[in-house]
Amino acid sequence: MIRFLPFLLAAPAFADPITLQSTTSTQNSGLYDAILPAFTAESGIEVQVVAVGTGQALQNARNCDGDLLIVHATEAEEAFVADGYGTNRADLMYNDFVIVGPPADPADIRGTDDVQAALSAIAAAEARFMSRGDDSGTHKAELRLWAPTDIDPAEFSGTWYLETGAGMGATLNTARGLNAYVMTDRATWLRFGNKGDFELLLEGDPDLFNQYGVVQISPDHCPRANLTDAATLRNWLLNDGQEAIAAYEVEGEQLFFPNAD
């Protein structure tokens, strides 16, 4: 109780915390709660996490409403740097996407590890498929997977292809409600509390690789950002933090695989 009084009485009680604009999967999976306290204890730097979709995180960072960015859309991150908003992009860690769905598996995709074949089968069966539809990292990755199938799912939007325009968790909840297939990152799925009878139906295609990157906000674009402390966090994530990321497990399963250079 007592330790909450300072921020209840005066709003800016922390000594200049840094704001981390982040994708939701890293937050929802509990990763930050597991690794950031060690960083704060070591450096004295408080980290405030704003977890939104990758698209929104990039937009917030473009508006300078953050000091560091952790998202998962490498192309968009590189464009962000090329456009002068960011600097020092580095690979941080990876995990993979999986497709989950109802045990009845109407498009019969269970056990395959060819994601394009599975998507084609879903389209052919006109089985319901939930898409994030929110320009997030997961949404972008999903659209990349459709491209080689020569199926434009947008044409079927509202029939069997359903776009929620919402976060991963909300989309998983909706998919449960509609018995629809849905692509999700593995971390969010493992930690998801409303799995019901849904099963992991497809995994293991190299195309399902999901790279997370860390990007610093450019000092030229955002001179007011807390860049020194952000750089400290970046360095920690790419060094000591790598071990902490690897050590984070849910139900005995490692969620993120560090792969900084």
Partner 1 sequence: MQDFFDAFQQAFALIASGDPELIGIVLLSLRVSLTALILACIIGFPIGALLAVSNFPGRRAIILFFNAAMGLPPVVVGLTLYLLFSQAGPLAVLELLYTPTAMIIAQIVLITPIIISLTRGTIAGLLAEHGETLRAMRATRPQMVMTLLREAHPALLTTAVVGLGRAFAEVGAVMIVGGNINHVTRVMTTSIALETSRGELAMALALGIILLIIALFTNAAVYALAPRSRELAHV
d(CA 246, CA 243): 5
Provide, rounded to whole angstroms, the least separation between the CB of residue 220 and partner 1. Answer: 14
Task: List binders of partner 1 among 8-37 (CB under 8 A).
Answer: 8, 11-12, 14, 17, 19, 24, 28, 33
11 vs 15, beta carbon nearer partner 1: 11
| Structure tokens belonging to residue 158 | 């509202």
Q: Give the three-state DSSP class for 127.
A: coil
Considering only residues 168 to 187 of the shown chain, the ones binding partner 1 according to CB under 8 A are 168-170, 172-173
Nearer to partner 1, 49 or 231 (CB): 49
Quote the CA–CA distance of 78 and 217 in Å, as a whole number: 12
Closest to partner 1 by CB, 10 vs 150, is 10
Q: Is 65 helix (H, G, I), strand (E, B) or coil?
A: coil
- Closest approach, Cβ 133 to partner 1, in A, equals 16
For residue 224, state whether it binds partner 1 (rule: CB under 8 A).
Answer: yes
DSSP 73: -
Residue whose pair of structure tokens reads 């994601």 in the numeric block: 115
CB–CB of 196/189 below 8 Å? no
Q: Read off the DSSP letter of residue 155.
A: G
| Binding-site ranges for partner 1 (CB under 8 A) | 1, 3-4, 7-8, 11-12, 14, 17, 19, 24, 28, 33, 48-51, 60, 62-65, 167-170, 172-173, 191-195, 222, 224-225
